Every structure is written in structure tokens, then in C-alpha cells.
């Protein structure tokens, strides 16, 4: 398992493949077949947000984005982890800092399947008041 925080920010594989998979390291232990499937044709790097402060992760990814013209980033984590959600929000923040425009796929593993999450959902997840308003509106409609 290659670790994101130990990988060269302008590594040869970044420049060659131009597609990055960042995944929660626990997923590789619990469901290696899922990581293997999504690693195809991507530089696949693990991060454990219990071990790595989110600011360090964001700074490192912004450094990659400043040096390499990636074509896409895919984020893969378990769903419901308060640590893993930081992978998703951290990627969005690093992209914002870098000023780059590139496609991001946010994927979560839940109940034996991988679910794609809209990047807007990831952005909104930082704002509890917005989620509260959406939930309240949804409850009023039913």
C-alpha cells in the first residue's frame, strides 16, 4: 500500500497516469478488492485521517496540483466515518486553493456497494445549518 503523505509531489507516476485515487487506508484492509478495482489506470495512494492532520493532507495535495496537471481525482472511503469524510472535504479544499478545474469523483463504500456522491454534497457537508435547513424542508414536504 503506497501512502499519499510519503509520495513525491511531482512523482513520475503522477505525470505518467495523470489520474489519482486517494483512498482511506482502512478500506484496503477491509475490502482490498474494492481498492484494486478503482486503482486501475490510476496512481492509488492511501491516507488515514486518524494519523494525518487534514491541513497537512490539503497542503500536500495542493502541492501535487501545483506541479502536475492531473486529469482527475477519485476519492474512495467508507461511508459514515468522521475521519474519512475529511478526505472528501480536503480534496475539494486543495482544488479550491490550487485554482485548478478538474473532475473529482467522490465514492463511498456502504452496505457492500460503492456509491458516487455529488461534489456539491461534499461541499454542503461542511455547513450544518444548510443540512439542517434541507432536512427541515424535506420533513415538511412529507
Q: For residue range 87-141, list pLDDT tens digits in order.
A: 999 999 999 999 999 999 999 999 999 999 999 999 999 999 999 999 999 888 7
The DSSP bridge partners found for residue 115 are 108
Residue 71 Cα distances to 17, 74, 79, 102, 131, angstroms: 9, 10, 25, 6, 31
19-62 per-position pLDDT tens digit: 999 999 999 999 999 999 999 999 999 999 999 999 999 999 99
What is the Cα–Cα distance from 39 to 51, expressed in whole angstroms? 22
pLDDT at 23: 99
pLDDT at 107: 99
The sheet that has 113-117: what strands, in order across it? Answer: 43-47, 19-24, 72-78, 104-110, 113-117
pLDDT at 56: 98
Strand 113-117 to strand 72-78: parallel, antiparallel, or no bridges (unpaired)? unpaired
pLDDT at 114: 98
Global pTM value: 0.93
Amino acid at each position: 500500500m503506497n501512502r499519499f503523505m510519503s509520495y513525491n509531489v511531482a512523482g513520475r507516476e503522477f505525470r505518467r497516469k495523470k489520474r489519482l485515487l486517494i483512498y482511506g487506508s482502512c478500506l484496503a484492509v477491509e475490502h482490498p478488492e474494492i481498492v484494486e478495482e478503482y486503482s486501475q489506470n490510476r496512481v492509488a495512494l492511501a491516507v488515514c485521517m486518524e494519523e494525518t492532520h487534514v491541513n497537512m493532507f490539503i497542503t500536500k495535495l495542493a502541492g501535487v496540483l501545483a506541479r502536475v496537471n492531473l486529469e482527475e481525482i477519485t476519492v474512495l472511503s467508507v461511508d459514515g466515518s468522521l475521519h474519512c469524510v475529511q478526505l472528501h472535504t480536503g480534496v475539494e479544499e486543495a482544488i479550491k486553493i490550487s485554482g485548478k478545474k478538474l473532475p473529482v469523483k467522490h465514492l463511498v463504500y456502504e452496505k457492500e456497494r460503492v456509491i458516487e456522491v455529488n461534489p456539491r454534497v461534499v461541499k454542503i457537508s461542511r455547513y450544518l445549518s444548510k443540512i439542517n435547513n434541507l432536512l427541515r424542508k424535506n420533513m415538511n414536504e412529507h
